[in-house]
Structure formats: structure tokens, C-alpha cells
Amino acid sequence: MKNIKTGTYINYTNDETYNFNFATNLSAYRKMMFINYVVNSLVEEDRYDSIVRDLIFDFGLVSMLTDINTSFINQKDDEGNAINPIIFIEQFLEETNVVDIVKVNMVDGLLEELNKAVDKSIEYRTGIHPSPLNDALVSLVNTLEKKVNEFDMGSMMKMAQKFAG
């Protein structure tokens, strides 16, 4: 990892602090790995888990930009069955300030670039567009309504009378 910094994050549950190293930038290859991790976690053939998009994105930042051991998400119950990692990811992100530290220290534009790339990849895989035609039409109607409301009918009638005369 390039552009390495050292930081300290807090676990709010036990008020303990932990030192960790984190990158402020990613190589092109690591960006691709990040995008694939997030999108593969959210999109399968028959489903798209949009509700956890931000959660997975933030955890991806932790796993790709820090040296924090994230194997804790792979826990099993007493019978040896895998427990859904979302439970542990959500708990970790709520109990610590790691993501805030990483995001504040990222090079300018990286967070936006990753968000945009993830959204485009999700759109490509699912066919779900973030700005569907409906949204565009609603925006157009709102703009037209605003313009019509700003229109001064009295002045227009006076002008029309002058042209008629």
C-alpha cells in the first residue's frame, strides 16, 4: 500500500483505542479489487441488496485501505453454519470510527471516484439506472412548473395588446 499513515480508532463499546495503518490512495489494481468486492457482495444473478450498499462500501474501505484484520466477519454458529457477515460488519462499523478516519484522509476525489465506479458497475450488472426516465420526467415537469409560475401574465397581455394595436 502506498501513502501509508498511522492512526488510532476508538471502539465505542469498550472505550478502547487501537492503532492501525491505512492507505490514503489505491493503485488501479486495488481500485478494481475494491469495486469487485463491493459489487460482488451486493449483486448476484437473482438479487441486488441495495439496502446494504453503503455498509458494504464502507467495510470495503476498511478491508482494502487498512491493515485491520477483518476475518471476524467469517463467524460460524454452534452447528458450524456460516453466520451472515452483515451482522458483524454493521456492528463493527457502528462501534468504531475507522471509516471516518479513512475517509477524511483519502486523497482528493478518491471517494467520489470509487462511489461512481461502484454505481456504474452495479448499473451494468443489474440494468438498474440510478436516474431512470421517471426521475428525468419529474425533474422536467418541476422545472416547467417553476418557469410557468415565474411567468408574468399581466406584462405579457400588455405586450400582446401593443402588438395587436
Q: pLDDT tens for residues 62-95?
A: 999 999 999 988 888 889 888 889 999 999 999 9
CA distance 48 to 41: 9
Q: Which residue shows C-alpha cell 399581466? A: 154
For the ranges 45-49, 57-61, 65-69, 116-120, the lowest mean pLDDT is seen at: 45-49
Instruction: With cut-offs at 50, 70 and 90, classify the pLDDT of residue 22.
Output: very high
Q: What is the pLDDT of residue 63?
A: 96
Section 51-70 average pLDDT: 96
Report yes or no: 123 and 132 within 8 Å, Cβ to Cβ.
no
Q: Would the pLDDT of 132 be above 60?
A: no
The pLDDT of residue 130 is: 62
Residue 156 has pLDDT above 80, yes or no: no
Q: The whole model's pTM is what? A: 0.75
Q: Is pLDDT at 137 greater than 80 in this prediction?
A: no
State the pLDDT at residue 142: 75
Q: Does the pLDDT of residue 7 top 90, yes or no?
A: yes
Cα gap 115→112, rounded to integer Å: 5
Residue 110, pLDDT above cutoff 80: yes
Angle 33-36-41 from CA coordinates, rounded to 5°: 125
The pLDDT assigned to 76 comes to 87
Residue type, 47: R
